[in-house]
Amino acid sequence: MIVVSDMHIGRDCKEITGFAGTLRPNPEFDRHFIDMLDFYTLDKEEEWKLVIAGDFIDFMEVVVTPRGEGPLDLKLTFEVTDEEKEFGLGSEAERCVVKLQRTVEYHQEFFARIAKFVKGGGELVLMRGNHDVEFYWGKVQRYFRKQLADLAFRGQRLEVDEAIDQRNAFQERLIFAPWFYFEPGRVYIEHGHQYDVYCSFDHWLHPVSPTNPRRIDTPLSAFAMRYFVNLLTDFAAHDVDLWGVRDYINWLREKGAAGSLWIARMGLYAGYRIVEYAARFSLGRVGRYAQEHGKKMVLEAERFMIPLDKLTAVDNLHHTPVSRNLSEVMRLLFLDRILLFAGSTWLMFMSLLIFSDVWLQFFAVILIGVLGYVINRQLAPRRYLQPGPKQISAAKRIAEILEVPVVVMGHSHARRDKRIARNARFINTGCWLPPLPSREHGATAAGEGEELAGPGVESAPRLSHLVLEKEGPAELRLFVPGTKTPMLAPRTASSIVALETDPEIPASGTLDLIPPKGT
């Protein structure tokens, strides 16, 4: 079994905002994945299962509008709204089909190789993440199945019965997992966004909008992506995890006065949308949607033969979305800091009016300033909540509840291999992403960059993946583009993990190449 996550295919499909007109898509990124799949599965696909653990297609970052009937002959029944002309299509099923169509067009070779894998007998499991929750729609699933089958069987001439049999067998090996994948006594896999307060959903198995059931619900991160990040050419979502104050200052300086004002305007608009949404739904989940979620949990329990009470216990581990808590949204957007500053300034002004003695005025101003500083320091630790610690806490409970030795997640883009109990491990597969113009996804361990990229290349994408052989332990590996072979991942925290300060991850400089089979 090969497990990858957070590939974000389609994030280069920005035709009206963001990276429109730049050099992406990056064909090297597609080539690396094809080489990796060839290394493990070429001519022996039937021996392997490929699990893509969420954020495979990045519907959230595909910013397109229809071009009329394209090469896939989609006949659309909706009209593009004014908002969609500015920010891209929404999350309704038919609009997501257009996004999927454009993504397949951009990455034909990539999807053709996956189709070849399934046609050759390999099993493909697609798990939903917060960036591809749109796979919830049956229409989107069916369209993806059609596209992959068309790529697999293009150019072939088969008898009718043979064609039907082969296509049916192909579809049986393509599985959509709405929440998790589980093999008793071996492994539990889910995307992991449910433990991130900015990306979680109240009712993950029924993730539709409380205001419009034809749309997907919108966690806070989706607002930020649609109304802010997608509009920029030199800022990526994970820059917020990596940049400091100096990075932001330098970035705004490069933008100039006009660019900075435009960024401020779009940031305020995104913040307004977030606060307005949170104000409407801060009272919690919608009752009827919770019921639908519960019904689908029964089906998941039956499918994996897990007692319903155990699966309910796992579901209860998820983080309540920050968009359901207006005070938390205000804290995230620094509105609490603005109110604190305004209140402190007002109290200082009032103290100057009330007290006539200069020394009393002086001490009052100092006291108010100190109290404001202390309150701000108390608020600061709650402003940024990294998902890593919550994932580890949840993984420990999942390992106990389901009695499974390996718990696997993605989402945080920070690879991690951590023992969470005597007989249990938590593994985060990291991400499989090409470098972004704003910051190279470079190596983090000493010497790792050169080993990954090959001679003469300064840095390389983190092409991390998990391999579970029929025998032996699960291994977290990195694919080396220079040699087209994988290596064992160093037991070192990657850059985002380092922000979470995990003292239990030992540093190791070992970079063990995995030899090709038969050598």
pLDDT tens per residue across span 71-128:
445 667 788 888 888 888 889 999 999 999 989 988 999 999 999 999 999 999 999 9
Is residue 126 within a helix (H) or strand (E), and if so which, with residue range? strand 123-127
| Confidence class for position 510, pLDDT limits 50, 70, 90 | very low
- For the chain, the average pLDDT equals 79
pLDDT over 80 at 18, yes or no = no
In this prediction, residue 237 carries a pLDDT of 59
Domain membership of residue 95 (yes or no) is no
* Cα torsion through 391, 415, 198, 229, rounded to 10: 180
pLDDT over 80 at 233, yes or no = no
Domain membership of residue 108 (yes or no) is no
Rg (the chain; Cα; Å)? 25
Cis peptide leading into 25, omega within 30 of 0?
yes
Q: How far apart are CA 333 and CA 307, in angstroms?
A: 41
In terms of residue numbers, what domain contains 347? 335-382
Domain membership of residue 13 (yes or no) is no
Structurally, the chain folds into a number of domains equal to: 1
pLDDT over 60 at 473, yes or no = yes
Q: How far apart are CA 257 and CA 423, in angstroms?
A: 57
Question: Between these two residues, 211 and 363, which has the higher pLDDT value?
Answer: 363
Domain membership of residue 454 (yes or no) is no
In this prediction, residue 68 carries a pLDDT of 57
In this prediction, residue 488 carries a pLDDT of 87
pLDDT over 60 at 420, yes or no = yes
The separation between the first and the last C-alpha atoms of the chain, rounded to the nearest angstrom, is 20
C-beta of residue 412 within 8 angstroms of C-beta of residue 54? no
In this prediction, residue 468 carries a pLDDT of 93
56-70, 171-185, 481-495: least confidently modelled range? 481-495
Domain membership of residue 243 (yes or no) is no
Strand partners, 51: 3, 125
| Confidence class for position 138, pLDDT limits 50, 70, 90 | very high
Q: Which residues make Cβ contacts (< 8 Å) with residue 340, sequence separation at least 6?
A: 372, 375, 376, 379
What pTM was computed for the model? 0.80
409-421: average pLDDT: 90
pLDDT over 60 at 70, yes or no = no
Q: How far apart are CA 17 and CA 233, in angstroms?
A: 8
Distance of CA 144 to the CA centre of its chain: 20
220-249: average pLDDT: 70
| Confidence class for position 373, pLDDT limits 50, 70, 90 | confident
Highest mean pLDDT among 118-127, 314-323, 477-486: 118-127
pLDDT over 70 at 498, yes or no = no
Q: How far apart are CA 130 and CA 239, in angstroms?
A: 18
In this prediction, residue 450 carries a pLDDT of 39
In this prediction, residue 71 carries a pLDDT of 46
Domain membership of residue 93 (yes or no) is no
In this prediction, residue 303 carries a pLDDT of 93
86-100, 338-352, 458-472: least confidently modelled range? 458-472
In this prediction, residue 17 carries a pLDDT of 60
Is residue 65 within a helix (H) or strand (E), and if so which, with residue range? none
In this prediction, residue 27 carries a pLDDT of 75
**Buried-exposed string 241-274: b where 16+ CB fall within 10 A, e elsewhere:** bebeeeeeeebeeeeeeeeeeebeeeeeebbebb
pLDDT tens per residue across span 183-199:
999 999 999 999 988 88
Q: What percent of the chain has pLDDT over 70?
A: 75
pLDDT over 80 at 312, yes or no = yes
In this prediction, residue 511 carries a pLDDT of 41
pLDDT over 70 at 210, yes or no = yes
Domain membership of residue 378 (yes or no) is yes
pLDDT over 60 at 383, yes or no = no
Domain membership of residue 365 (yes or no) is yes
376-403: average pLDDT: 79
pLDDT over 80 at 421, yes or no = yes
pLDDT over 50 at 178, yes or no = yes
Q: How far apart are CA 198 and CA 204, in angstroms?
A: 14
In this prediction, residue 236 carries a pLDDT of 63
Residue with tokens 């994948």: 181
In this prediction, residue 328 carries a pLDDT of 66
Please state the φ and ψ torsions of residue 264, each to the nearest 5 degrees.
-60, -40
